[in-house]
A and B are shown apart, each in its own frame.
Chain A
Amino acid sequence: MLKEIGRGLMTTFKMMLERPVTIQYPEQKRPVRTRYRGRHILRRYENGLERCIGCALCAAACPADAIFVEAAENTDEERYSPGERYASTYEINMLRCIFCGFCEDACPTEAIVLGDNYELSFTDRAQAIYTKEMLLEPVPPGGQPTPQKTPPGVYTRAVPEMEDPKD
């Protein structure tokens, strides 16, 4: 019997000498894995134009029906994205989202991506709805905020060039 207790305590003492795995969250944060799927980000091009073309394919792909997109037409006077169409409303309900990443897969312009942020807590339901302003990434250095006034004849493609998906 004593032997058993001694063996148990051995383990305890051994563990006391090991480095603890617990970290002091939120003062301390661990980096996430490269393919981690956290809160979404709506990306921009280097010149600040939005990548999202308002096609609503993410909303169609979403198994949780968490995304709502409404589109409008770009003009050279008021341009949000390079193509003909942009998202005038883009909302994700984070309470519904299951972080499957299907939206990211469906997006033809790699506009919506799942980022690193996992700090999603709300005190009411309305807070869980992330609007376009909340999701859009900041304008990169050297870029302009949207809407932009652009010279005519530059953005003539209906949709911007769609690259083969990369990791």
Chain B
Amino acid sequence: MSKMVTLTIDGIKVTVPEGTLLVDAARQAGIHIPVFCYHPKLEPAGMCRMCLVEIGRPMIDRNTGQPILDENGQPKLQFLGKLETACTNTVSEGMVVFTQSEKARQGQKATVEFLLTSHPLDCPICDKGGECPLQDLTMAYGPAQSRFEYEDKIHLAKHVPLGDLIYLDRERCILCSRCIRFQAELVGEAVLTFDERGRSSQIVTVSDPPFDSVFSGNTTDICPVGALTTADFRFGARPWELKAAASICSQCAVGCNIVYNTRREARSDGRIVIKRVLPRQNEEVNDLWICDKGRFGYHYTESRARLTAPRAEGRPVSWEQALQKAAEGLRSASQKALIASGRLSNEDLYTLKRLADHLQMPAYLYTPIGGGEWVRRYGLSTGSDLSALGKGDAILVVASDLYEEAPLWYLRVRQAAERGAALIIAHPRTTRLERQAPHQYVLRYAYGDEGEIIERLRREAKIAQTLHEARNLVIFFGNEGMGLEQSESLAAACADLLVETGHAGRIHNGLIGVWPHPNAQGAWELGFQPIFDLQPLFETMDALYLVALDPFGDGWVRQNGRKPFLIVQDILETATVRQADVVLAACAYTEREGTFTSGERRVQRYYPAVPRYGDSRPDFAITAALGAKLGLNLEAQSAARLFQEIAGAFPAFKGLDYARLAETRPQWPPTGRADYPFSGTAQPNTQGMGKILSAVAEGTMTPLPPTMQKESLRPEEGTLLLVPIHRLFDAGSLLTPSALLHGRIGAPHIILHPKTAQEAGVTAGEKVLIEWEDRQAEALVKVEEHVPVGVGLVPRSMGIPLSRAARARLHLAERVR
């Protein structure tokens, strides 16, 4: 515990740890010192001078080291001749601070007036108007009238695109550098900077492509004026017209807490639609941030391709008819299976599992990454908190590119490493985490050698020592270059490592699967079996019940005459829906309530944000209605009651219910209306921070089976090894409806090392034909140094149906024709 210091701010005595900044100390005492450039998550810069206050420090007798007392026995105070910034001064014992004195108020007023000298005062049309720190602080501290004529002001460009997602209004910018510091300090990518000097200073982007960051939207939350706006929300609505619904982001396994802002819209035929997404504070999950995929990728819930009614044989039918047909199909089939994806809620998956058990059919989770069984047993447990990791702890990231697969975990890991945690990265190529986070060790292995990763970590003396000595150890694993079985054995090996180093079964320790879906972990917890290659099922089964997946669209399944009876339950019109015998129209998760279990095993609630689309129904209600036709009685109305059933049936969920999941605790920094100048427009968390599941076998350790080493392909002289990789902005059916992101998604491409490209006789930007196994696809060539020689990286869900590593040949597309 650091030394505590007591000081007086505006007559209030405050005791805070030594080294605390004056603004923070004051805020803790409930005193708002006005700030623009200071942000509690960033290093102070002292750029704007808004936080001017009077600071008096006790005079110290040099000989005795004791404070000099005045005639009343009080320590004598020494004030500097001028005002000082509260955001750069740290507290000291006996300090006396006046934030509202005549002199301080004058300084603050002058600062506002100065900042407004060239401000366009266009609040009526500014997207920030209504939640703008400059507006609020001008009302509270500024002069009532401008002494400037509009014509005297400097006029600057008002419509500068910084990348395709963010616009800059240079007239409104007050040069506080919050956006620059956010990108450079917190994210570790200095893509923004100041250009020119003095009056001509401006924010510019120095990356190519411009504003090359997946965190760019956060700068619009912390920009204290309306200088940075998103292309998505620009002129979309005034902030006070929006309603808010707490939710959980559905784009990856991190489970960021968000708020959906909604409004009735004439442009959408008078429906209530989502207008924007804001982060919701959860210091254990996402702090005040979300990534651009979460912020801009929600449009699929409002896509024109949404299913509005059930269908049978391609025609819209009533629910009764559709369910009847589906039930008959299932009843008459002798070989049947259920396949669900991690996009569903715990309540949906539980209901599906019950139905599968009732009909004695297997329940599969459709996933490219295996090993959730190990995460269930060796994952994080109740009380764990990634933000608690720091000096003395170790984080191991294996076969995962966190920046592309789970951006907020990238941020978390990077922050922990900055705090002093030992970061060990094992990956076949250089990832952004390696480039932008302070790391201890990098283990570079070749594609194909995945089976040896953990062995090699053990053999490297220094790494092994770090792992053994770490107070806490968290392991993230992905499936770069691996199939389902290999990633499963990697997970088992990682679990083994946790046990061996004595970290298993302790809080703040465990295994985290970097799943591509928000609730894959939930499916593992509820006993689903993993599957990725569905072709055999399509060839052997009589009936399949597919929920929230699109194997035809992904290109994994190919029609070869025989087709089982297909029941497809989804929210969008997909290629799989078009093949279905019965289509059951589900509503999007934004239209109902439920819970997701994130990769760190945190169960979190989401709430309905918009009304249901057409005649769609929640997944669990559909399954329950289907169950009723098949003689199974399931809860069909209340998600809360279903969750109670789960808590009763699964020990890991024991003691949890909707009320407990909705609990919150006070968090620092404070957020909310009064704190917009301080923390930005991230929303306060009043609807629940979620709870991490308890360890499955507390105390007792289930013995590990010997890890199986599955053979995988390795690069060879003269051939090209194709490897599927995860990319944040892919062309999946959930992202393409967000037109704004098309620039980020781009065309299907293959990434090669310059040498490989040269050998194949192709150059960057050319179109090539890739041939592997009995398939082929066209792609643009990208050339990047970090790719191993002889390997071609192919992003998943980008129109190239490559499901696992494969040998391939490349041709120039023109030459082929």
Chain A contacts to B: CB under 8 angstroms: 53-57, 59-60, 68, 70-73, 83-85, 88-89, 91, 108, 156-159, 161
B240 touches A85 (CB 8 A): no
B241 touches A55 (CB 8 A): no
B266 touches A73 (CB 8 A): no
Q: Which residues of A contact B129 (CB under 8 A)?
A: 55
Q: Which residues of B contact A157 (CB under 8 A)?
A: 120, 122
The reply on B150 being an interface residue by CB < 8 A is yes
Given A68-B266, A71-B235, A156-B155, check contact A161 B150 (CB 8 Å): yes
Interface of B is mostly: loop
Given A60-B240, A84-B158, A161-B150, check contact A70 B125 (CB 8 Å): no
A56 touches B122 (CB 8 A): no
The reply on B238 being an interface residue by CB < 8 A is yes
Whole-angstrom distance between the Cβ of A158 and the nearest chain B Cβ: 4
The reply on B171 being an interface residue by CB < 8 A is yes
A84 touches B125 (CB 8 A): yes
Distance of A72 Cα from B267 Cα, bound (Å): 10
B120 touches A158 (CB 8 A): yes
B241 touches A83 (CB 8 A): no
Whole-angstrom distance between the Cβ of B550 and the nearest chain A Cβ: 34
Whole-angstrom distance between the Cβ of A8 and the nearest chain B Cβ: 62
A89 touches B266 (CB 8 A): yes
Q: Residue of A at shortest CB range from B129?
A: A55
Interface string of B243-271 (1 = CB under 8 A from A): 00000000000000000000001110000
Q: Which residues of A contact B124 (CB under 8 A)?
A: 53, 55, 57, 108, 159
Q: Residue of B at shortest CB range from A90?
A: B266
Distance of A124 Cα from B686 Cα, bound (Å): 42
15 contacts between A and B (CB under 8 A): A53-B124, A55-B125, A55-B238, A60-B241, A72-B235, A73-B234, A84-B125, A85-B125, A85-B235, A89-B267, A91-B266, A108-B124, A158-B169, A159-B122, A159-B124
Q: A53-B125, A158-B158 are in contact. List 16 more A-B contacts (CB 8 A).
A: A55-B124, A56-B238, A57-B124, A59-B241, A60-B238, A60-B240, A70-B267, A72-B235, A83-B122, A85-B235, A108-B124, A156-B155, A158-B125, A158-B126, A158-B169, A159-B125
Q: Which residues of A contact B158 (CB under 8 A)?
A: 84, 156, 158
B238 touches A73 (CB 8 A): no
Given A59-B241, A60-B240, check contact A54 B150 (CB 8 Å): no
Q: Residue of A at shortest CB range from B157?
A: A156
Closest 3 CB pairs of A and B: A158-B122, A55-B124, A89-B266
Interface string of B129-150 (1 = CB under 8 A from A): 1000000000000000000001
Chain B contacts to A: CB under 8 angstroms: 120, 122, 124-126, 129, 150, 155, 158-159, 169, 171, 234-238, 240-241, 265-267
Distance of A33 Cα from B241 Cα, bound (Å): 35
Distance of A88 Cα from B171 Cα, bound (Å): 25
A56 touches B241 (CB 8 A): yes
Q: Which residues of A contact B234 (CB under 8 A)?
A: 73
Distance of A56 Cα from B241 Cα, bound (Å): 9
B266 touches A54 (CB 8 A): no
Q: Which residues of B contact A159 (CB under 8 A)?
A: 120, 122, 124-125
B267 touches A88 (CB 8 A): yes
Q: Which residues of B contact A71 (CB under 8 A)?
A: 125, 235-237
Distance of A72 Cα from B237 Cα, bound (Å): 9
Distance of A60 Cα from B120 Cα, bound (Å): 22
Given A55-B125, A85-B235, check contact A158 B266 (CB 8 Å): no
Whole-angstrom distance between the Cβ of B32 and the nearest chain A Cβ: 25
Distance of A73 Cα from B232 Cα, bound (Å): 12
Q: Which residues of A contact B120 (CB under 8 A)?
A: 157-159
Q: Which residues of A contact B150 (CB under 8 A)?
A: 161
Contact of A158 among B171, B238, B241 (CB under 8 A): B171
| A53, A56, A59, A161 pick with most chain B CB within 10 angstroms | A56
Whole-angstrom distance between the Cβ of B264 and the nearest chain A Cβ: 8
Distance of A73 Cα from B127 Cα, bound (Å): 12
Q: Which residues of B contact A53 (CB under 8 A)?
A: 124-125
Distance of A84 Cα from B267 Cα, bound (Å): 19
Q: Which residues of A contact B267 (CB under 8 A)?
A: 70, 88-89
Q: Residue of B at shortest CB range from A70?
A: B266
Q: Which residues of B contact A88 (CB under 8 A)?
A: 266-267
Distance of A84 Cα from B159 Cα, bound (Å): 10
Given A158-B122, A159-B124, A159-B125, check contact A70 B240 (CB 8 Å): no
Q: Residue of A at shortest CB range from B158?
A: A158
Q: Which residues of A contact B238 (CB under 8 A)?
A: 55-56, 60
Q: Residue of B at shortest CB range from A109?
A: B124
A54 touches B125 (CB 8 A): yes
Q: Which residues of A contact B240 (CB under 8 A)?
A: 60
Q: Which residues of B contact A70 (CB under 8 A)?
A: 237, 265-267
Q: Which residues of B contact A72 (CB under 8 A)?
A: 235
Distance of A57 Cα from B169 Cα, bound (Å): 22
Whole-angstrom distance between the Cβ of A56 and the nearest chain B Cβ: 5
Q: Residue of A at shortest CB range from B124?
A: A55
Distance of A73 Cα from B265 Cα, bound (Å): 16
Whole-angstrom distance between the Cβ of B171 and the nearest chain A Cβ: 7
Q: Which residues of A contact B126 (CB under 8 A)?
A: 158
Q: Residue of A at shortest CB range from B172?
A: A158
| A68, A85, A158, A161 pick with most chain B CB within 10 angstroms | A158
B241 touches A54 (CB 8 A): no
Q: Which residues of B contact A54 (CB under 8 A)?
A: 125, 235
Whole-angstrom distance between the Cβ of A58 and the nearest chain B Cβ: 11
Q: Residue of B at shortest CB range from A72?
A: B235
Distance of A71 Cα from B236 Cα, bound (Å): 7
Q: Residue of B at shortest CB range from A131?
A: B266
Distance of A73 Cα from B235 Cα, bound (Å): 7
Distance of A157 Cα from B234 Cα, bound (Å): 17
Q: Residue of A at shortest CB range from B125?
A: A85
Whole-angstrom distance between the Cβ of A82 and the nearest chain B Cβ: 11
Distance of A108 Cα from B129 Cα, bound (Å): 14
Distance of A120 Cα from B708 Cα, bound (Å): 82
Distance of A25 Cα from B267 Cα, bound (Å): 41
Distance of A157 Cα from B121 Cα, bound (Å): 11
Q: Residue of B at shortest CB range from A57?
A: B124
Distance of A91 Cα from B270 Cα, bound (Å): 13
Distance of A89 Cα from B155 Cα, bound (Å): 30
Distance of A59 Cα from B171 Cα, bound (Å): 27
Whole-angstrom distance between the Cβ of B129 and the nearest chain A Cβ: 8
| B129, B238, B240 pick with most chain A CB within 10 angstroms | B238
Distance of A91 Cα from B264 Cα, bound (Å): 13
Q: Which residues of A contact B241 (CB under 8 A)?
A: 56, 59-60
Q: Residue of B at shortest CB range from A71?
A: B235
Distance of A55 Cα from B236 Cα, bound (Å): 11
Distance of A146 Cα from B122 Cα, bound (Å): 23
Q: Which residues of A contact B159 (CB under 8 A)?
A: 84
Whole-angstrom distance between the Cβ of A132 and the nearest chain B Cβ: 10
| B120, B150, B236, B241 pick with most chain A CB within 10 angstroms | B241
Whole-angstrom distance between the Cβ of B583 and the nearest chain A Cβ: 34
B125 touches A83 (CB 8 A): yes
| A60, A83, A85, A91 pick with most chain B CB within 10 angstroms | A85
Distance of A166 Cα from B282 Cα, bound (Å): 50
Distance of A53 Cα from B171 Cα, bound (Å): 19
Q: Which residues of B contact A59 (CB under 8 A)?
A: 241
Q: Which residues of A contact B122 (CB under 8 A)?
A: 83-84, 157-159
Whole-angstrom distance between the Cβ of A20 and the nearest chain B Cβ: 49
